[in-house]
């Protein structure tokens, strides 16, 4: 009888098959695999076989336009022909139809109107060539922002969600992919590595026993060439040394465009009223 937590003969066979499949995918397709103790041999086997079938179908599949993929619909007329009060209804109808035919379209920026999203789908997305995968449950996903990035909205999110809300709360930086790797500035401290930046922040936080409330508000973004300035105001209520403390004031986060990887990176953070 197998001991508890000891693999059975059947599981050993599955593990051997998994090792073979992974080696095959590494040699033929350059795949890389991590290790997870939470994944059973059966779960891993199911995943590997699914990926193998997906790759084989993708390799042999023909290419079609999105318009062809969704069945060449004729009911989606030009945005210019739709009354303004009907645009949202027509957009909802379009998105549902596309989803039912294996194509999805999303948008993250709140500044994109229903009319613009509908126009983009009918005039541009329909013409894009894709691999015609006929796999049940698989949906080809598109995001409007990938074609027309809203840099102001994205940089406000980077500055607020990826920096200010972490600095001014009990949260810690699990990663700093929105930041430049070195030569960072935090108030008067410069130049800083990412680790030095975090150390300054955590040194300030260690004197705070509890953050009661953090508000980041009045955010705005200015873009000038390869530089972006996001600014706003903040108010923090916390407890430090058994006393209630409030910090408030203006803040500013400066970002620069890293042209090598086509993304904006935080390089300078200024928070009035706080000494790090």
Rounded mean pLDDT, 91-101: 97
Give pLDDT tens digits for 181-203.
999 999 999 999 999 999 999 99
pLDDT the model gives residue 52: 73
Give pLDDT tens digits for 110-133.
999 999 999 999 999 999 999 887
Rounded mean pLDDT, 153-173: 96
Share of the chain above pLDDT 70, in %: 91
* Mean model confidence pLDDT for the chain: 90
Confidence category of residue 36, pLDDT binned at 50, 70, 90 = low
Torsion sign (Cα): 199, 200, 203, 207 = negative
In the chain, what are the domain boundaries?
Answer: 63-147, 151-271
Contact indicator for 201, 185 with CB cutoff of 8 Å? no
Read off the pTM.
0.74
Contact indicator for 177, 140 with CB cutoff of 8 Å? no
Better-predicted residue by pLDDT, 14 or 166 = 166
Confidence category of residue 69, pLDDT binned at 50, 70, 90 = very high
- HSE of 275, CA atoms in CB hemisphere, 13 A: 0
pLDDT the model gives residue 174: 87
Token representation of residue 268: 């300078």
Better-predicted residue by pLDDT, 9 or 49 = 49
pLDDT the model gives residue 142: 97
pLDDT the model gives residue 65: 97
Fold of 151-271: Nuclear Transport Factor 2; Chain: A, (3.10.450)
Is the confidence at residue 143, as pLDDT, over 50? yes
Is the confidence at residue 3, as pLDDT, over 60? no
Give pLDDT tens digits for 225-257.
999 999 999 999 999 988 999 999 999 999 999
For the stretch 158-195, what's the b/e string if a residue is b when 16 or more beta carbons lie within 10 angstroms of its beta carbon? bbbebbbebbbbeeebeebebbbeeebbbeeeeebebe
pLDDT the model gives residue 1: 46
Confidence category of residue 5, pLDDT binned at 50, 70, 90 = low
Share of the chain above pLDDT 90, in %: 72
From CA 214, how far away is CA 166, in angstroms rounded? Answer: 10
DSSP E strand boundaries for 36-95: 63-65
């Amino acid at each position: 009888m197998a001991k508890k937590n000891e693999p059975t003969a059947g599981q050993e066979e599955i593990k051997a098959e998994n090792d073979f499949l992974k080696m095959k995918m590494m040699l033929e397709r350059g795949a890389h695999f991590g290790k997870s103790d939470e994944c059973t041999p059966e779960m891993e086997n199911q995943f590997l076989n699914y990926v193998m079938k997906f790759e084989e179908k993708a390799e042999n599949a023909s290419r079609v336009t999105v318009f062809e993929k969704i069945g060449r619909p004729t009911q989606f007329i030009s945005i210019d022909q739709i009354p303004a009060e009907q645009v949202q209804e027509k957009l909802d109808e379009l998105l549902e139809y596309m989803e039912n035919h294996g194509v999805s379209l999303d948008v993250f920026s709140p500044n994109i109107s229903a009319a613009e999203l509908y126009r983009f789908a009918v005039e541009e997305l329909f013409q894009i060539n894709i691999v015609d995968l006929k796999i049940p449950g698989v949906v080809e996903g598109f995001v409007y922002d990938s074609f027309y990035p809203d840099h102001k909205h994205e940089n406000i999110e980077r500055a607020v969600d990826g920096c200010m809300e972490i600095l001014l709360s009990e949260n810690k930086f699990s990663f700093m992919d929105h930041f430049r790797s070195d030569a960072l500035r935090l108030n008067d401290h410069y130049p800083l590595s990412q680790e030095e930046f975090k150390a300054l922040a955590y040194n300030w936080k260690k004197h705070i026993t509890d953050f009661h409330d953090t508000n980041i508000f009045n955010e705005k973004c200015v873009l000038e060439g390869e530089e972006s300035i996001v600014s706003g105001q903040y108010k923090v209520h916390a407890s430090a040394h058994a006393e209630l403390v409030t910090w408030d004031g203006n803040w500013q986060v400066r970002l620069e465009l890293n042209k090598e990887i086509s993304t904006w990176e935080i390089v300078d953070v200024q928070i009035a009223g706080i000494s790090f």
